[in-house]
Amino acid sequence: MLLRWLPLWVAVPVAIGCTGEIGNPGDGEGGSGAGNTNPAAFEPASPTLHRLTQPQLVNAWIDLLGEPLAVPANLPQDDVAYGFTSIAAASRSISGVEAEEYETATYDVLDQVWADPARRDALVGCPITSVDDACVQAFLAEISERAWRRPLEADELTPLIDLARSVGADLADPAQGVKFALAAVLQSPSFLFRVEVGEPDPEHEQLLRFTSWEMASRLSFLLLDAPPDDDLRAAAAAGDLTTLDGIAAQAERLVDDPRARPALVRFFRDFMNIRNLAALKKNAAAFPQFTATLGPAMQLEIERMFENVVFEQEGDFRQLFTTRETYLNEELARVYGVEGITGPDFHPYLFPEGSQRAGLLTTAGFLAMNAHETQTSPTHRGRFVQINLLCNDIPPPPPGVSTTLPEPEPGAPPTTLRERLDVHRTNPECAGCHARMDPIGFAFEHYDALGTFRTIDENGLTIDSVTEVEGQPIADALELGDLIAELPQAGACVARRFFEHAGGHLAGDGDQRSVDQLVDAFVDGSYDFKELVVALVVNDGYRYASPAAAEEGN
């Protein structure tokens, strides 16, 4: 066990220094979001620790140790807060059980390398015959800097070398000593967390700016879900990432890197709340075509639609609400009634004019995820649109109020779900919120709980999807998608949620100017999501932190 030789993790470092020019908060330099006319109203969030998510941890191991590398089982799970794993990661510590899981996983990946002496020696740069070998000590210094994503402090290398010597002597094997020292590096908070401290801004005493090295990690983990590559490390060492031009140049490079796709898809997966499609459940009697692989296929369809609009077309993000272009495999094609697609592989498909499919809101994944196991839920579907797509708050039901629709009276004539909800809204305690959700949800009633199109419900009654949203008459989900695409608050919601995902916190009052500027940049950039990414990273709300908030949180 590591703790036999190292009673405490390597200490979290203090902020490192860096130099470079920065744009003034308030001068508007850098266009999108870089500036506030009233600095007193600008109070960004405090610096924090961001625990690496599972994808980030695995990518960091691979970056340091190379491939092949089997991912250990039983890694600590990623939580979700306010819809995002990134926000949860910024508020999570490590429990005793999780520390043991990290320790077990660390030795698992190191054992994979150390089991092959040729691979181990290639990693180190020489055979490990003595911990005092200059090559071995240079390796420990270099890999520690890469693992901790910053230069080492003067007193940080010596304890690692001492640990390697002690373990090597105890086990009569210097190679094992180096492995245990490397295990200490990989269990340090400096590795398992993105440590952000900030440094005083020489031009604005009321603010901290993130250091060049901290910005390198902010960019890399946001856009690649991985540690900084060589170009980012060089830019960080040169102090380029305290400048707007330096940050923008790196962001433009990274957003065009194929590695950016999985990282940005992760944002979209959280934004659309489709991560749980992998475990989708539907009643087998009601939906005999449902299988364990259908939910994951639904999720992949939505993610590929995002990739197509953002990366292939580099188009208007709002096309996602109206596009007829999608990707289907045989299982999904059956749900949509599409013929000619066979096998598990996905193929591009264009729904014809006149079909009942266009955009995210008519995908089987969205419709099935926001429904019950046997029947639809206009309330759930409408609530999703209000909260996730328009960023409107819907309060929870008052205490003691039943949210279950009463069953029809025995012998009473059958009624549609819409008619039952209309009666439910006569309850004054329910009317306020349901009036904001149900009318939106009624537009989706032509799609059952699996997302299959229908004209009659399970009782044989005719579906009525005509409704009114934002004061406009809506005939069905297709018209609703057209409306959502045109609503200013839909684009604003995407920008706001990306700001919150990137920073790992909900936007507060002190962030509002930054969010407004990011929204303006999104509009000015014709809703190009890649341009939104660049606008975000040069936004003052992403480059600065609040010392006052940092003190309050300690």
pLDDT, residue 25, reads: 38
Which residue type sits at 70?
A
pTM of the model: 0.90
Which is nearest to 325 in space by CA: 299, 307, 351?
351
Domain around 226 = 200-259
Residue 114 domain-assigned?
A: yes
For residues 431 and 417, the model is more confident at: 417
Residue 516 token pair? 């407004």
Q: Are 532 and 108 in contact (CB under 8 A)?
A: no
pLDDT for position 435: 85
Q: Is the same domain home to 325 and 471?
A: yes
Beta bridge partners of residue 208, listed in sequence order? 200, 545
pLDDT at 364: 98
> What number is the average pLDDT over the span 160-168?
98
Encode pLDDT of 394-430 as tens digits: 887 777 666 666 677 777 788 888 888 877 666 666 6
CB burial readout 342-365, b (16+ within 10 A) else e: eeeebeebebeeeebbbbbbbbbb
Name the domain count of the chain.
4
417-424 and 428-442 helices, crossing angle to 10°: 150
Backbone angles phi, psi at 289, to 5 degrees: -80, -5
Residues 332, 412 contacting (CB under 8 angstroms): no
Q: Is residue 59 part of a domain?
A: yes
Question: What is each CA distance from 250 to 138, 224, 433, 523, in whole angstroms?
Answer: 28, 12, 45, 22
Q: Give me the helices (H) in 201-255, please.
A: 212-223, 230-237, 244-255
Q: pLDDT band at 202, cuts 50/70/90?
A: confident
* Whether residue 68 has a cis bond before it, omega within 30° of 0: yes
Beta-strand pair 49-51/193-195: antiparallel
Same domain, 316 and 463: yes
Whether residue 13 is predicted with pLDDT greater than 50 in this model: the reply is no
Same-domain status, 399 and 436: yes
Share of the chain above pLDDT 90, in %: 82
> Tens digits of per-residue pLDDT, 323-373?
999 999 999 999 999 999 999 999 999 999 999 999 999 999 999 999 999
Closest-CA residue to 294 (of 331, 349, 258, 249): 331
Quick check: is 6 in a domain? Answer: no
Residue 16 domain-assigned? no
CA distance 448 to 445: 7
186 and 269 both lie in a single domain:
no
28 — pLDDT class (breaks 50, 70, 90): very low
**How far is 12 from 188, CA to CA, in rounded Å?**
8
Express each pLDDT in 229-249 by its tens digit: 999 999 999 999 999 999 999
Residue 303 has pLDDT above 90, yes or no: yes
Statement to judge: residues 439 and 528 lie in one domain: no
349 within some domain: yes
pLDDT tens column, 59-78? 999 999 999 999 999 999 99
The letter for the amino acid at 497 is: R
- Which segment of 131-135, 188-192, 410-414, 491-495 scores lowest on mean pLDDT? 410-414
Q: Quick one: 436 and 512 in the same domain?
A: no
Q: How confident is the model at residue 226 (pLDDT cuts 50, 70, 90)?
A: very high
